[in-house]
Amino acid sequence: MASNVPMRNLLSLVQNRSLKTSNTSSPSPLTVQYLLSSSVLHFESAHSVSQKLQIDEGDLQNPHYVIGFLKAHDFKDAHIAKLIHKWPAVLHCKVEHNLKPKFEYFIENGFVGEILPELIVSNPDVLRRALDSRIIPCFELLKSVLGCSEKAASAFKRCSVSMMSAMEPNIDLLLKEGVPVDRIAKLIMLQPRTIQQKHQRMVYAVKALKDLEIDSKTTIFIHALRVMLQMSESTWNKKVEVLKSLGWTEEESLQAFKRCPFCFTCSEEKIRSVVDFLVNTLKMEPRTVIGRPEFLMLSVDKRIRPRYNVLKILESKKLIIGNKNMKQLLTMRENNFFQNYVIKYADKVPGLLEAYDVLPKQYR
């Protein structure tokens, strides 16, 4: 991957680059030379890493052992390069005391083949954490909730090891509040970092959902929890105020959240644009929009307007009867709408395909 660079040229390159660098440690020519000779980093990356890592002449064996160990465990050069770039200090890790015990544990628990490099490269923090006191308790907890090592491995890859201490009290809280284990498992598989929120934040979110009388045993509770944990109290209040400014009462706004929690993740601009198009262009009754908060999740440009354009053309050609159930058409699966309202009439209506400006790739 890296070309061989004569030492005198290497020193010159490093020294020239150092003159242009401020507020960083000076790169070590020996470190750069070693990283290049390892054939996993090109010069730019080696120079960058050398500002954060010092390899001494008497300690060249350890980085060599580390790279050899990684390659023996299915790490490609690209994996090793990314890992070193993310956490240069990995080259100082002791293979026998740090890397080997952790790798053995991961392999025993389903991290085999490409999965192991993916875990370490995406989350090198696991190599900084103690195996017995941090990694094993977290993985065993995930396994106890998810039911098997394979699912635990999938969730563990997306967890933040530094936040693992919050996981157990958060799971205990949800169980205490009546959330079924399978719902907690679903939450972990969907978004494992949700369960790693600070415990007080989790307590606040659960209480807020209880106050809204959302049943903790339902799937909607899990979705609502994910959304609630993303928002501060001020953000929540702003979303309610946006809906109220569009004619919704506070109670209707809260009911919208209870029916479709993810509508509260939409920006103010998106909410206003969707409501404006539905009410003023499609002439949909405001009460209908209020009763279908999932409409707020739809894209005006990618869903609502293209379908509206097609229907207006078909109505003008008297190929379909007007006053079609717009609620059903807006939520219809993309392939169903495309086949039943675009492809079906494409030969009879020149330009219909072009009017539907969100064509699947094969028709572009």
323 located within any domain: yes
Task: Report the run of H or E that residue 19 belongs to, with start and end.
Answer: helix 7-19
Total number of domains constituting the chain: 1
Give a yes or no: residue 314 inside a domain. yes
Exposed (0-12), middle (13-18) or buried (19+): which is 198, by Cβ within 10 Å?
A: middle
Q: For residue 32, tell me if it sits in a domain.
A: no
Residue 237 falls inside a structural domain: no
Q: Is 321 among the domain residues?
A: yes
What does the pLDDT look like over 219-251, one tens digit per residue? Answer: 999 999 999 999 999 999 999 999 999 999 999
Q: How far is CA 247 from CA 137, 188, 268, in A?
A: 50, 37, 14
- Asked if residues 242 and 272 have their Cβ atoms less than 8 Å apart, the reply is yes
Look at 11-20, 23-32, 67-76, 228-237 and tell me which has the smallest mean pLDDT.
Answer: 11-20
Residue 352 lies in a domain: yes
> How many angstroms separate the CA atoms of 25 and 48, rounded?
10
Residue 324: which residues within 8 A CB-CB, separation 6 or more? 311
Residues 178-215 have pLDDT tens digits of: 999 999 999 999 888 899 999 999 999 999 999 999 99
Domain with 308, as residue range(s), is 300-363
Predicted pLDDT of residue 270: 97
Residue 317 lies in a domain: yes
Asked if the structure places residue 158 within a domain, the reply is no
**Banded pLDDT at 343 (limits 50, 70, 90):** very high
